[in-house]
Amino acid sequence: MNNVAIEQNWRNKYNVLVPQADSMGAIAVIRSLGQHGYKVYAASAKVAALGCRSTFASCAVQCPKYDDQQYLDWLRQYIKDHDIHVIIPSEAFYLAIRDNFQEFAHLIPIDSSEEDIYRCLCKVDVFSSFFTDESQQLTKHISNTQIASHENEIDWQAIESWQYPLFIKGDGFYAHQGDDAKIIKAHTKLEAEQAVTEVFRHYDKVIVQDCSPGVKATVNLLFQEGKLLAESMAVATHENPHTGGLTSLRHSWWQEDMYQDAIARLKHLNWNGPAMVEYKWSEENQSFDFIELNSRYWAALNLDILAGIHFPCIHLDYFFEKLAPEKAIRLTETINVRNALPADFGYMLSSLKDSQIATKKKCFIFIEFILLFFNPKIKADLLYPGDRKLYFINLWSFTKEFARSCLKRLR
């Protein structure tokens, strides 16, 4: 990042609201912006939200839940009372203001249209858009996928050749009530048929996908006004559960073909803003499949800011003052970052419970879980310079919850 820009104090005249301060992504946003001088107002409906306790938050507040009828009135008043200049939206925040988007649009530092913003939040619409690509470039790295509006539209004969387990997904945008998404893993055709029937009870559209080999990998990008401002890539070493899920141990890396694929997808979607493009990467086959788009700041953002790539600060510097790097800032440092508790604990626990894993390997996984705490080459998500207290607050909360769970089982 431009050292001159970092040294300036002009950022403290801007008040930034960061909702959902209980999430890992929001914590990284708060740290990045607060560290560089922005006045950060952290908000969460949860009493014990870690982001609200960050050293880098100028102010913290407990707000109503998104589905509370009072939320929008609270938001309007808070913006007025604290002279909020910008809001860093989460996916749930976008959905909470969906019917009132234009009222808050001037506070959202994204220059994509309302239509493009909500399309990028919808898994069904994202895949549908890629399938309309006449060049078919955007369908090359997608696992077997079907989108259906009715059970009769699903081609079960074609699915017979797919790789199990299948994933049956209900998109929150097409939910009959609320906006929660649903994913069911099916290991057999019968389970898949039952899952499809179940999902259609609650959703108007359903995605059916097969299982891509490999581990989770991400391309993280920041576009504004068509300019690429910052970029990074990461790949998972551990996931929770171990069969695939939340990344608990990850490291920076680079894979040019995947990177170019992600660029093409965001340009096709007219996306401007932060985005994590998620893939499955097979080291054995040297292949990758697009999984989903997260068009907001990602949970693993602490990896980037620990490496000195401050996506949120770069973002707002451009939004407010049009300060842009001469070329996109790329994460080139090799860095390993771990979310030990509860994520990597979940990886370890799911491995120990898996009857398919040999006892010898289970012992290795358990020992590795302990030893990783003492590995100086692995950084911790929450153990951030100037804000290390969040690590110990989280450790104490996890310890209490774990002890409470153990006592309950002994009774």
Asked if the model's pLDDT at residue 6 lies above 60, the reply is no
User: Of 90, 112, 134, which closes a domain?
Assistant: 112
Answer with the residue of higher pLDDT: 329 or 5: 329
99 in the same domain as 27? yes
Domain of residue 86, CATH code? 3.40.50.20
Q: Is residue 149, in this structure, part of any structural domain at all?
A: yes
Q: Is residue 29, in this structure, part of any structural domain at all?
A: yes
* pLDDT given at position 9: 82
101 in the same domain as 153? no
10 in the same domain as 108? yes
Residues 74-121 have pLDDT tens digits of 999 999 999 999 999 999 999 999 999 999 999 999 999 999 999 999
* pLDDT given at position 179: 78
108 in the same domain as 49? yes
Asked if the model's pLDDT at residue 2 lies above 50, the reply is no
**410 falls in which pLDDT band (50, 70, 90)?**
confident
∠26-30-31 over CA atoms, to 5°?
120
87 in the same domain as 16? yes
Query: Residue 189 corresponds to which amino acid?
Result: K
CA 2 to chain centre: 27
Terminal Cα-to-Cα distance of the chain (whole angstroms):
55
∠180-65-171 over CA atoms, to 5°?
10
Q: Is residue 26, in this structure, part of any structural domain at all?
A: yes
User: Of 209, 240, 263, which closes a domain?
Assistant: 209
Asked if the model's pLDDT at residue 388 lies above 70, the reply is yes
User: Of 209, 224, 248, which closes a domain?
Assistant: 209
108 in the same domain as 148? no
- CA 199 – CA 206 distance, rounded (Å): 7
Q: Is residue 286, in this structure, part of any structural domain at all?
A: no
103 in the same domain as 20? yes
- For residue 323, which of 334, 309, 313 has the smallest C-alpha distance? 313
Q: What is the mean pLDDT of the chain?
A: 95
Backbone angles phi, psi at 363, to 5 degrees: -65, -40
Residues 252-310 have pLDDT tens digits of 999 999 999 999 999 999 999 999 999 999 999 999 999 999 999 999 999 999 999 99
Q: Which residues span the domain enclosing 180?
A: 144-209
Give strand pairing partners of 282: 287
Residues 203-227 have pLDDT tens digits of 999 999 999 999 999 999 999 999 9
**4 falls in which pLDDT band (50, 70, 90)?**
very low
Q: Is residue 179, in this structure, part of any structural domain at all?
A: yes
Helical pair 123-131 and 256-268, crossing angle rounded to 10 deg: 100
98 in the same domain as 12? yes
Q: Where are the beta strands (DSSP E) in 162-214?
A: 166-170, 182-186, 206-209
Backbone angles phi, psi at 308, to 5 degrees: 90, 10
107 in the same domain as 14? yes
The tally of domains found in the chain comes to 2
78 in the same domain as 168? no
Q: Is residue 271, in this structure, part of any structural domain at all?
A: no
* pLDDT given at position 8: 52
**379 falls in which pLDDT band (50, 70, 90)?**
very high
30 in the same domain as 107? yes
Q: Is residue 97, in this structure, part of any structural domain at all?
A: yes
186 in the same domain as 96? no
pTM metric for this prediction: 0.95
**180 falls in which pLDDT band (50, 70, 90)?**
confident
Q: Is residue 27, in this structure, part of any structural domain at all?
A: yes
Domain of residue 168, CATH code? 3.30.1490.20
- CA 300 – CA 267 distance, rounded (Å): 23
